[in-house]
Every structure is written in structure tokens, then in C-alpha cells.
Amino acid sequence: MICVYGAGSIGCYVGGRLAAAGADVVFVGRERIAAEVRAHGLRLTDLDGADERVPAPRYETDPAAAADADLVLVAVKSAATADAAAQLAPLLRPGTPVVSFQNGLRNAATLRSGLPEAVVIPGMVAFNVVHRGDGAFHRGTGGGLEAQAHPALAPHLDAFARAAMPLALHDDLLGVQAAKLLLNLNNAVNALSGLPLRTELSQRPYRRVLARAQREALAAYKAAGIRPAKTAGADPRLVPHVLGLPDALFTRIAARMLAVDPHARSSTADDLAAGRPTEVDYLNGEIAALAAEHGAAAPVNERLTALVHAAEAGGRRDFTGPELLAAVVRPD
Ligand SMILES: NC(=O)C1=CN([C@@H]2O[C@H](COP(=O)(O)OP(=O)(O)OC[C@H]3O[C@@H](n4cnc5c(N)ncnc54)[C@H](OP(=O)(O)O)[C@@H]3O)[C@@H](O)[C@H]2O)C=CC1
Ligand SMILES: CC(C)(CO)C(=O)C(=O)O
């Protein structure tokens, strides 16, 4: 049995696709989603036209449902990782593979310290999922699932392949996670813009904010000896230059970055909209912390982190591009 622990947008989509392809999946999450899924089942769609249904998924709110899972997929937000590990620790058999399908760089380490007897494997979800309500979850971008190669995953690879979501395996996932974090630096920009991702990324001033945040991250990675992997064949060091291009040129050169469902927003924007604390401390805040650890500065990421915290407390989340650029480049 595969247990999805923290079944929200990513967990319901990934677990739902696995279940639709015949895997035995148990979802563990909150009552509000349990009630929705009980009433409507799960519907999984994507931008390529897939449309699958799981009429009666097993969605539980009691952590005990994870007992004796053969594979656990953790999909809680980063601030909830330590609690999830504490809940899972008494339930899992020693050696159970536990994959972190979370953003950021440190969730696998957090899981490892709470689950010393499990085999914790870092993973990465490259695509965006929009929760449309009534049990419907939509993949709004391209991209797949990635994980660190580990023999404990071998018995489960077929389940992912059957669901047309093969796990791409890497010898060292840190470079892949670091590359994903470069993209996730846009989560804050997107949340503060109040716009869908595609609209926001179509506007150069927002992209210039992201380019500055990425340049700080690349400098921090260099100081820390982290080499971000190529994303879709592109050298991450070139991306800030591309982001700074005028709109017409960017639209032509980076069409792939704009191939996003018109309604999709970042998970940070989803959190703000739902009144939940965001993961900004694990995204832009991670870059600020990494820079500080290596005697460097990351003022743009620090400022974005502060602005998202202000938005969590009721502050602005409707910055125009020029306003946001001015706010991060020349803070009050
Ligand atoms: N959404 C997206 O498009 C993408 C998200 N990601 C990453 O995937 C991870 C998951 O994100 P996402 O799916 O959006 O998050 P969601 O908030 O939609 O889902 C997480 C769910 O887990 C629940 N949860 C938290 N703690 C527990 C617990 N101890 N036991 C059971 N349930 C719990 C949460 O409930 P509650 O809110 O009540 O705590 C929430 O319903 C994040 O790291 C995110 O950055 C990666 C790629 C894209
Ligand atoms: C897919 C992406 C980069 C943007 O939606 C994301 O990871 C998120 O929203 O957290």
C-alpha cells in the first residue's frame, strides 16, 4: 500500500493518478479535503487533455491509516514536516521508503531526523497543481516527478510508470532541488502580484525581481558548493539574463516558461489566498540563510520574505511589477 501523507494539491494529484492506474493508495490529510473527496471522489486532469477519476478513494484523517505502508509520499508544506515525521515514526516498519515530494532543500533532512529507521529519499515535483474544488485537481504545467535513486524504490517504479508519471532518478538530487528552488523564488513574486503565473511572468518588471532573486541564489550556491542542475536543458546561470529580456523577445525565447494554465498560481499564492502560513522561509528565506552562512548578502530574497510575511498578516498582495521592483531594490 502507498500512503500519501498530507494529501492536499500535490498529494491528491500524485496519489490520485497512482490510484487511477490501479495502485493501492491511502490518503492521509485534513477533514475539509476528506469531506470533499468523500462527496465527489477525485478527478485528475492535465493540460494535455488527460481526465481520470477515482470514484471512492480511501481518504483518512487519522495518521494510523499510514501504519505498515510499503511506501510513503510526504506532501505536507515544509513547516509541517517535523510533525508529520513524529506522527509517522511509531507507525512505519523499519526500512520503509519515505519520499519527500516537497519544495525547498531541507525537508528530507527533517524527515530523516524524525524517522531514523525509515529510508528517507528526497524527491521533487516539477509541475504545478491547481485545486479546482469538488475533488478536482489539475496539472497546470509540464514537468514530472524526480527522486534520488535508491534500491528501496525499485518495487514501486512500475506503479509510477503505469500512471504515466515515471519517477526520473538521479544519483544526487541536491542539484535538482537547487534548480527547482531557483524557480520557486518566483512563488513570492507571484503571491505578491496577485496575478496568475502566466500573467505575472509575461510582465518584465516582475521577471526583473525574479532575476535579481535568482542571481543572489546562484551566488549563494556557488559559495556553498551547490551546483544547480540544468532545467529543460537550460543552464540556470543564463536564466536571469533571459528573464530580463523585453516582453516580446521573452515570449518568443521562453515560450516554455509561459506554457502554464492561465489560472495557475504558485503554491505560496494559494496559501495566502487560503489564509495559511506560507513556505517563504523555506524558499526565499532559505537563500537568505544560505547567503548569510557563507558571509554573503541576499537583500532581494530577504525583502521578498518580509513582504510575504507582511501579506500573511494582512498586508499588500497586489503589487504592480514596478512597485514590487522598487520595494525590493530600494526597501523603506
Ligand atoms: N501546489 C503546487 O502546485 C506545488 C507544490 N509543491 C510543493 O509540494 C508540497 C505540498 O504542497 P501542496 O500540495 O500545494 O500543499 P497543500 O497545503 O495543498 O497540501 C498539504 C496538506 O497537508 C495537510 N497536512 C499538514 N500537516 C499534516 C499532518 N500532520 N497530517 C495530515 N495532513 C497534514 C495540510 O493541511 P493544513 O493546511 O490544514 O495544515 C494540507 O491539506 C510543498 O512543499 C509545496 O511547495 C511542489 C510543486 C508544485
Ligand atoms: C510548480 C511551481 C514552480 C509553480 O507553481 C511550484 O513549485 C509551486 O507553486 O510551489
pLDDT tens digits for range 202-261: 999 999 999 999 999 999 999 999 999 998 778 999 999 999 999 999 999 888 888 888
User: Does the fold of domain 174-329 match that of domain 2-170?
Assistant: no
The CATH number assigned to the domain with range 2-170 reads 3.40.50.720
Average pLDDT of span 102-118: 97
Average pLDDT value for the chain: 96
Q: Between 259 and 158, whose confidence is greater?
A: 158
Minimum CA distance residue for ligand 2 atom 9: 266
Percent of the chain whose pLDDT exceeds 70: 99
Q: What does DSSP assign to residue 50?
A: -
What is the spatial distance between Cα 92 and Cα 116, in angstroms, rounded to a whole number? Answer: 11
Instruction: Report d(CA 71, CA 32) in Å as an integer.
Output: 25
Beta carbon of 76 within 6 Å of any ligand 1 atom: yes
Measuring from each residue's beta carbon to the nearest atom of ligand 2, which residues come in under 6 Å? 103, 127-128, 141, 183-184, 187, 266-267
ipTM of the complex: 0.98
Q: Residue 72 corresponds to which cell in the numbers above?
A: 510513503
Tell me, in angstroms, the distance from the centre of ligand 1 to residue 240's CA.
29
* CB atoms near residue 232 (< 10 Å): 10
The alpha carbon of residue 328 and the mean position of all alpha carbons in its chain are separated, in whole angstroms, by 23
Strand partners, 139: 46, 129
Please, which residues have CB within 8 angstroms of residue 63's CB and are 6 or more apart in sequence? 5, 28, 87, 88, 91
Distance CA(11)–CA(42), nearest Å, equals: 12
What pLDDT, on a 0 to 100 scale, did the predictor assign at position 233?
Answer: 76
pTM: 0.96
CA of residue 190 to ligand 2 center, whole Å: 10
Domain 174-329 has what CATH class?
mainly alpha
Give residue limits of the domains in the chain. 2-170, 174-329
Q: What is the pLDDT of residues 114-149, one digit of tens each?
A: 999 999 999 999 999 999 999 999 999 999 999 999
Q: Which ligand is nearest to the CA of 282?
A: 1
Q: Which pLDDT band, with edges at 50, 70 and 90, does 330 fall under?
A: low
If one residue of 76, 125, 190 were mutated to test the ligand 1 pocket, choosing by the most ligand atoms within 8 A of its CB, it would be 76
Neighbours of 25 (CB within 10 A): 28
Cβ atoms of 27 and 59 within 8 Å: the answer is yes
Examine the pLDDT at 331 and tell me if it is beyond 80: no
The H or E element spanning position 188 is helix 174-193
Backbone φ, ψ for residue 240 (5° rounding): -60, -35
Pocket test for ligand 1, best of 180, 267, 308 (most atoms within 8 A of CB): 267
pLDDT, tens digit, for every residue of 31-62? Answer: 999 999 999 999 999 988 999 999 999 999 99
Rg (the chain; Cα; Å): 19
Q: Is residue 253 within 8 Å of 202, Cβ to Cβ?
A: no
